[in-house]
Chains A and B, each alone.
Chain A
Amino acid sequence: MRLLTHNMLSCNIKGVTNGYPLTIEASKWMAKEVDFNGDFLRNIFVKIEWKVLIEAAKVMGYTDLPVEVDSSMLNSDEFLQKFHHALLEIHVEEGALICPETGRKFPVHKGIPNMLLNEDEV
């Protein structure tokens, strides 16, 4: 699972109101190189929850993202490269996603998060 997917996931247990963002617990992750697409990054930037991306990347040991960002940085190639790496190249392979409200763990196995709910959660 890439961090772009993580950026939009929230806990869907019935009654949960603060299910975003899910905390990542990772015992295994990897980086896979993909082609750089500056236009895509410039476009999606405003839609990304930046703090959530920073925290997620940190779990996987990537700490190069700046804390303060604004759209002027989209002219910087150096910034875009870091954004690209965090958003599209880091993959969570094994671990769990944890609901911030209930502590419920959604396991991630072979890169696939299991978001299925039990009967009493829907």
Chain B
Amino acid sequence: MKLKKLEGLLGDLDQFSDPKVELEQYPTGPHVASRLIYTAENSFGDITGKVVADFGCGCATLGIASALMEAEHVIGIDIDSQSLDIASTNAEDMEVNIDLMLSDIKGLNWRGPLVDTVVMNPPFGTRNEGIDMEFLKTALKVASRAVYSLHKTTTREHIKRVAIRDFNVKKAEVLCELRFDVPRLYKFHRKKSVDIAVDLWRFVP
């Protein structure tokens, strides 16, 4: 599938109807999501024919993008059942098959090594400190090939250090820096949207 086509399809997905602040629910836009999945496949062969898990899938943009790129099996996990209902409808609309599961990423103990690749846009941890690193830790346990994740550029050094020192990754690289437009979903955001710099990471467990 071509990048433009993928981006266009992702633009049709429904997103959080009633975002929950404490869970940091905002979607990965079609521009960023399509590039993440496209790069994972075209530069590294980590999606097509693979088992892919979407951690904190929300309405499953990344999981559905993986299925559209012909992942063999996709599992989306989120702690919020309302998002999973939207994810389920989205998958039906796109005519892709994905498994969904209501679960906390923290404490997930799947039997390895069935999952090849984890894709995620984890909560930044602004509401629940450390949750971003919990996601990363669990993802690195579950994935056997690679983990793709988005993190604030301001945390780059910290992430690199923890990934290498504490999580023993073989490789941690920033593939590109993106502008991420977080819409003003919440009353406490003063501006209409906040434009933040995020890194697209690829980790090899």
- A interface list, Cβ under 8 A from B: 1-2, 4-5, 7-10, 12, 14, 19-20, 32, 34, 37, 39-40, 44, 47-49, 88, 110-117, 122
Contacts and interface: CB of A to CB of B under 8 A. Distances in A.
Contact of B84 (A7, A19, A44, A112): A112
Interface string B100-124: 1111100111111111000000000
A122 B107 contact: yes
Given A7-B111, A20-B111, A2 B73 contact: yes
Given A10-B110, A40-B72, A116-B104, A110 B99 contact: no
B162 to A, nearest CB: 23
Contacts of A1: 99, 101
Contact of A2 (B84, B99, B113): B99
A116 B104 CA distance: 6
A23 to B, nearest CB: 15
A110 B84 CA distance: 11
Given A5-B75, A44-B114, A112 B88 contact: yes
Contacts of B88: 110-112
Given A110-B88, A116-B79, A49 B111 contact: yes
Contacts of B75: 5
A37 B72 CA distance: 8
Q: Which 4 A-B pairs have the closest CB atoms?
A: A115-B103, A8-B111, A114-B102, A8-B110
Contacts of A44: 51, 114
Contact of A47 (B73, B108, B114): B114
B99 A5 contact: yes
Contacts of A88: 72-73
A32 B110 CA distance: 25
Given A2-B73, A20-B111, A39 B49 contact: yes
B39 interface: no
Contact of B102 (A10, A14, A34, A113): A113
Contact of B110 (A9, A14, A110): A9
A4 B73 contact: yes
Contacts of B108: 12
Contacts of A110: 88
Nearest to B75: A5
A10 B109 contact: yes
B97 interface: yes
Contacts of B102: 112-116
A89 to B, nearest CB: 9
A13 B73 CA distance: 26
10 contacts: A1-B99, A4-B73, A8-B114, A12-B107, A12-B109, A37-B49, A39-B49, A112-B84, A114-B81, A116-B104
Interface in B106-149: 107-115
A114 B103 CA distance: 6
A7 B112 CA distance: 10
A81 B188 CA distance: 55
